[in-house]
Amino acid sequence: MRVLVSDAIAEEGLAVLRQAAEVDYHPNLPRETLLQIIGAYDALMVRSQTRVDAPVIEAGVRLKVIGRAGVGVDNIDVETATRRGIVVVNSPEGNTIAAAELTMAHLLALARHIPQADRSLRAGEWQRTRFVGVELSRKTLGIIGLGKIGREVARRARAFGMRVLAYDPYVAESQMRQVGAEPVTLETLLRESDFISLHAPLTPETRNLLNRDTLALTKPGVRIVNCARGELIDADALAEFIESGHVAGAALDVFPVEPPPADLKLLHQPQNVLTPHLGASTVEAQVKVAIDVAEQIVAVLQGKAPRSPVNLPPIPAELMARVEPYLQLAERMGILHSQLADAPVERVHAIFAGEWGDLPLDLIARAALAGLFRGTTDTPVNLVNAPLIAQQRGVHLEWSVRPETELYPDTLTLIAYTSRSSHKLTGTVFGRSDLRITHLDDLFVDIRPEGIWLMTEHQDRPGIIGRVGTVLGNYQVNIAGMHVGRESVGGRAIMILQVDNPIPPEAFRQIQQMEGVGNARIVTF
């Protein structure tokens, strides 16, 4: 077995590889050379510098595993690797402590003006009264995103005597309380925090999470720390709030563009504490990720399961052809559940009814988790790592089998429980690929889980469906299909409209305010 290491890796990781394989260590390998030689290797180990795109993967005809010594896999074409049956592994835990400790260093430096005082002293000044700071003790720290790093920050902040608030719509409240954090809404966190630390993944929902509108909700004199993703903050808006004095200062390790442009206002504001993306830059973290990924590469080459795969190991083709439509159905049911839930999902129960034979029901149940978490993290979510994410978020998965079905053969029922309520979906597959949701909370609907839905809950009475259709027509929204279910004549009813184009916010507001409509939501797949 041959392993190519094309980026700088700690010697301890190389030693692990050399115990099991022939290792060629070529940091800073030119891309042209990589394309020429990759076909001779069974494994490739990289950090962030080497771009492992489709041409590299296609040229790696012997590749069985690609290891990323770090967390992010943005430089690896995971989709192409999965299609080629190549396992991709990373080290999601390796830099947790390093990033958490850097966050605390930023908090302290920001509170006590340490970089500014250092510069002043080196300039020959002695101005003690100029750098009067604030204490962390008895202050409120708001943590946005309570994943692995956020939790470690919460523990350390509690040790400093801080009150810790946490906002994370995908983590159960019980998990937050375990680390001494109070679960709150984003608005409450913004209004009550003396310090705000960002640890959320970068998703469409979190991009520019701190902007002019949300910063306006913060307490005057708030201090902001970001050691997560630069794009979580609107940099221009933050600079304006610092210039006005509303925000006392920011401590930033990450920026929307790296390295940041020289004219970025945040670089020229003396209140700020700035570092060049040092979150994982400790000796210990580099050794941890190198050893972790090296051990996983060896495991895959020896036919064993890796600890932290980010994609699905190959499934036999004959089995995949049969299970794939049910994997898609379960994933889309999970996506629907994520948009129906009124609070973080705490438990998922999958019920398989009918004759499922030798299909891997555990993988189908995992696919539901993958759908439930899709779009809530900036790392790929799949059948392999979905259970780990569920464990981290306090989501319990269970599944059961029963032989009988009611209307259709081989139905999947997925029940998602939150602390406030539960929703129940039932679906099936017709033919080879016709996916259907057949029941929603025991109401018959029979609809394909695709595209854009407008869902309304209302009392079954004349006129509501027509008024909703009129509003959509006024805004040039074309209705592709309609499905209505009801408990009884005049009773609780549900309507699902499949539309061809996005619903404008004003149209949606009119529907929400319509008499007789108890609840309305837009669902996207």
- CB count within 10 Å of CB 391 equals 12
Of 163, 246, 277, 492, the catalytic one is 277
Catalytic residue among 68, 151, 229, 436: 229
Per-residue confidence (pLDDT) for residue 43, from 0 to 100: 98
Of 32, 122, 128, 258, which residue is the catalytic one? 258
**Region at 479 (left for phi over 0; alpha for psi -120 to 50; beta for the rest):** beta
- In the numeric block, the tokens 């319990």 are attached to 396
Select from 3.30.2320.50, 3.90.1150.10, 3.40.50.300, 3.40.50.720 the CATH code of 96-274: 3.40.50.720
φ and ψ at residue 341, rounded to 5 degrees: -65, 140
Q: What pLDDT shows up at residue 178?
A: 95
Task: Tell me how far apart the alpha carbons of residues 203 and 314 are, in angstroms, rounded to a whole number.
Answer: 28
Q: With H, G, I as helix, E, B as strand and everything else as coil, classify residue 356.
A: coil
Contact (CB, 8 A) for 479 and 497: yes
Cis peptide before 259 (omega within 30 of 0): yes
| DSSP symbols for 189-257 | HHHH-SEEEE-----TTTTT-B-HHHHTTSPTTEEEEE-S-GGGB-HHHHHHHHHHTSEEEEEES--SS
Taking the whole predicted model, whether its pTM rises above 0.95 is answered as no
The answer to whether domain 2-92+284-301 and domain 96-274 are alike in fold is: yes
The confidence score (pLDDT) of residue 317 equals 62
The DSSP symbol for 181 reads P
Q: Is position 277 annotated as part of the catalytic site?
A: yes
- CA diameter of the chain: 85
What b/e sequence results for 24-46 when a residue is b if at least 16 CB atoms lie within 10 Å of its CB, and e otherwise?
Answer: ebeeebeeeebeebbeebbbbbb
Q: What is the pLDDT along the chain (525 residues), one digit of tens a residue?
A: 999 999 999 999 999 999 999 999 999 999 999 999 999 999 999 998 899 999 999 999 999 999 999 887 889 999 888 878 788 999 988 899 999 999 999 999 999 999 999 999 999 999 999 999 999 999 999 999 999 999 999 999 999 999 999 999 999 999 999 999 999 999 999 999 999 999 998 888 899 999 999 999 999 999 999 999 999 999 999 999 999 999 999 999 999 999 999 999 999 999 999 999 999 899 999 999 999 999 999 999 998 878 888 887 656 666 777 888 999 999 999 999 999 998 999 999 999 999 888 888 988 999 999 999 988 887 668 777 888 889 889 999 999 998 876 678 889 999 999 999 999 999 999 988 899 999 999 888 889 999 999 999 887 888 888 999 999 999 999 999 998 888 788 778 889 999 999 999 999 999 999 888 888 999 999
Asked if 428 and 354 count as a contact pair (C-beta separation under 8 A), the reply is: no
Q: At CA 380, angle to CA 375 and CA 384, rounded to 5?
A: 115
Domain 2-92+284-301: which CATH number of 2.40.30.10, 1.20.1260.10, 3.40.50.720, 3.40.190.170: 3.40.50.720
396 part of the active site: no
End-to-end CA distance of the chain: 42
* DSSP helix, strand, coil percent of the chain (3-state; round to 5): 35, 25, 40
Q: Is 424 helix (H, G, I), strand (E, B) or coil?
A: strand
Report the pLDDT value the prediction gives residue 307, as an integer from 0 to 100: 84
Where do the domains of the chain lie? 2-92+284-301, 96-274, 317-524
CATH architecture group of domain 317-524: 2-Layer Sandwich (3.30)
Q: Which two tokens stand for residue 483?
A: 């499905």
Confirm whether 268 is a catalytic residue: no
Task: List, in sequence order, every residue forming a beta bridge with 474; answer none if it has no partner.
Answer: none
Q: How many C-beta atoms lie closer than 10 Å to residue 115's C-beta?
A: 16
Contact 381, 373 (CB under 8 A): yes
Residue with tokens 């555990």: 362
Distance CA 379, CA 357 (A): 33
